[in-house]
Chains A and B, each alone.
Chain A
Amino acid sequence: MKFAVIVFPGSNCDHDAHYAVTQVLGQQSALIWHKDTDLQGADVVILPGGFAHGDYLRTGAMARFSPIMREVQAFAERGGPVIGICNGFQILLEAGLLPGAMLRNRGLKYRCEHVHVRVETTDTPATAGAYKGQVLTIPIGHGEGNYYAPPDLLKRIEDNQQVVLRYTTADGRLDDDANPNGSVNAIASVCNDRRNVVGMMPHPERACEPALGGTDGLVILQSIVKALTTA
């Protein structure tokens, strides 16, 4: 199985994702520069975390116009799995591949900490190996993760069960104090209506080995492999 990890100028979790795929999952991975126009036959595309194009204008606003994004868009339209992590999530929102938008965190603070997220659906490539209601502890690190969708869009997302992860307490309860950034309905991750494109603010690649302080990110990463194997 081959992963493509897209490298934008300013990406800084690209090598972490590449490491997790090759060394932890034991799969193939290619780091692909944003100006390239070939996904090299990848089975799954990861848009990694970081600060693509310096986060100038809005997070992800410029990255969506990188040449490789035309290929990513076509890949997604063919049903290929695309996973956006943190800045990758912001890019997918700006590119219109996922619904909604990101605002500055409610407290204006860059939040870098472990959070608890509850799996809301297993019908996505990022959660196919989890169980509904499972609580995962995975780090976040962002200043603009305050997910927003206007009321009509939010209703559609909820009705279609496109919310993939929600910020909760350690025992899986919704609590405003457990919402690190003010995201509407405590949304930490959403998918598109076809369910093959998933964006998430937590970083599973930062929680995939005991030495990193946790392994709950493996549930997400191994889900991708499972979804592709059983597809």
Chain B
Amino acid sequence: MRARVFVTLKPSVFDPQGRTIVEALHTMGYGDVGDVRQGKYFELEIETTDSAKAKAMAAEVADKLLANPVIESYRVEIV
């Protein structure tokens, strides 16, 4: 099964890259873009047909390595 893991900075944490991107978008004329948060996206191929098991494993991997719980949160999708 394939798991998708999205890692983003927590809302309370300042994202200087997102800030720079939004400033660039405003310069380009996209004034309606209010905020941009940059994150990370991972695709995990997991050798199981049990989607609950795949989701649990992806979450475990995110907890241990893919995300730093001090500054980041994550979301897992199974496809």
Contacts and interface: CB of A to CB of B under 8 A. Distances in A.
B30 interface: no
Contact of A148 (B20, B65, B66, B70): B70
B17 A108 contact: yes
A108 B68 contact: no
Given A57-B66, A150-B70, A103 B12 contact: no
Interface residues of A, number: 21
Contacts of A226: none
Nearest to A65: B65
Contacts, number: 38
B13 interface: yes
B71 interface: yes
B39 to A, nearest CB: 12
Interface in B1-54: 9, 12-14, 16-17, 20, 40
A106 interface: yes
A173 to B, nearest CB: 24
Nearest to B10: A150
B16 A104 contact: yes
Interface of A: 57-58, 61-62, 65, 93-94, 100-101, 103-108, 146, 148-150, 153, 182
11 contacts: A57-B40, A61-B65, A62-B65, A93-B70, A103-B9, A107-B16, A108-B17, A108-B20, A146-B16, A148-B13, A150-B12
